[in-house]
Amino acid sequence: MIPFLDLKAPYLELKAELDEAIQRAVSSGWFIGGPEVDQFEADYAAYCEVDHAVGVANGLDALHLALRAMGVGAGDEVIVPSNTYIATWLAVVQCGATPVPVEPNEATYNIDPTLIEAAVTSDTKVILPVHLYGQPADLDPILEIARKHGLRVLEDGAQAHGALYKGKRLGGHGDAVAWSFYPGKNLGAMGDAGAVTTNDPDLADRIKVLRNYGSRVKYVNEEQGYNSRLDPIQAAILRVKLAYLDEWNNRRRMMATQYQKGLAESGLILPNVPDWADPVWHLYAVRHANREGFQKQLESQGVSTLIHYPIPPHLQGAFKDMGFKKGDFPIAERIHDEIISLPISPSLTAQEAEQVVRACLN
Ligand SMILES: *Cc1c(COP(=O)(O)O)cnc(C)c1O
Nearest alpha-carbon partner for 186 in 124, 251, 128, 130? 251
* Dihedral (CA of 37, 41, 42, 43) sign: positive
pLDDT in tens, the chain (362 residues): 999 999 999 999 999 999 999 999 999 999 999 999 999 999 999 999 999 999 999 999 999 999 999 999 999 999 999 999 999 999 999 999 999 999 999 999 999 999 999 999 999 999 999 999 999 999 999 999 999 999 999 999 999 999 999 999 999 999 999 999 999 999 999 999 999 999 999 999 999 999 999 999 999 999 999 999 999 999 999 999 999 999 999 999 999 999 999 999 999 999 999 999 999 999 999 999 999 999 999 999 999 999 999 999 999 999 999 999 999 999 999 999 999 999 999 999 999 999 999 999 98
Neighbouring C-beta atoms of residue 20, cutoff 10 Å: 13
Does an H or E element contain 79, and which?
Answer: strand 77-81
Cα–ligand 1 centroid distance for 60 (angstroms): 6
Cα–ligand 1 centroid distance for 59 (angstroms): 5
Q: Tell me the pLDDT tens digit for each residue of 53-69.
A: 999 999 999 999 999 99
Nearest-10 Cα torsion for 169, 171, 174, 180: 130
pLDDT of residue 362: 87
Q: Which residues contact 195 (CB under 8 A, 6 or more apart)?
A: 41, 44, 53, 54, 55, 56, 62, 178, 179, 181, 230
Cα–ligand 1 centroid distance for 218 (angstroms): 30
**Bridge partners, 180 (sequence order):** 194
User: Could you tell me where the beta strands, DSSP code E, fall in 266-354?
Assistant: 277-278, 284-287, 339-342
Q: Decide whether any atom of ligand 1 lies within 6 Å of the 313 Cβ.
A: no
Are the C-beta atoms of residues 74 and 93 closer than 8 Å to each other?
Answer: no
In angstroms, the CA 55 to CA 57 distance is 7
Which of 84, 89, 159 has most ligand 1 atoms within 8 Å of its beta carbon, as the pocket-test mutant? 159
Of ligand 1's listed atoms, the one at least distance from the Cα of 63 is 10
DSSP 317: G
Are the C-beta atoms of residues 45 and 197 closer than 8 Å to each other?
Answer: yes
Neighbouring C-beta atoms of residue 314, cutoff 10 Å: 20
In angstroms, the CA 316 to CA 329 distance is 13
**Bridge partners, 164 (sequence order):** 169, 278
CA atoms within 13 A on the CB side of 259: 28
Q: Decide whether any atom of ligand 1 lies within 6 Å of the 345 Cβ.
A: no
DSSP 306: B
SS3 81: strand
Of ligand 1's listed atoms, the one at least distance from the Cα of 58 is 7
Q: Decide whether any atom of ligand 1 lies within 6 Å of the 130 Cβ.
A: yes
Task: Please give the backbone phi and psi of residue 127, each rounded to the nearest 5 degrees, phi first.
Answer: -105, 130
Are the C-beta atoms of residues 190 and 176 closer than 8 Å to each other?
Answer: no
SS3 159: coil
Q: Amino acid identity of 27?
A: S
Nearest alpha-carbon partner for 129 in 119, 120, 139? 139
In angstroms, the CA 228 to CA 43 distance is 20
Q: Which residues contact 286 (CB under 8 A, 6 or more apart)?
A: 263, 268, 269, 270, 271, 339, 340, 341, 342, 360
DSSP 29: T
Q: Decide whether any atom of ligand 1 lies within 6 Å of the 158 Cβ.
A: yes
Nearest alpha-carbon partner for 70 in 211, 176, 225, 158? 176
pLDDT of residue 167: 97
Q: Amino acid identity of 84?
A: T
Between the alpha carbon of residue 185 and those of residues 35, 85, 89, the distances in Å are 24, 13, 19
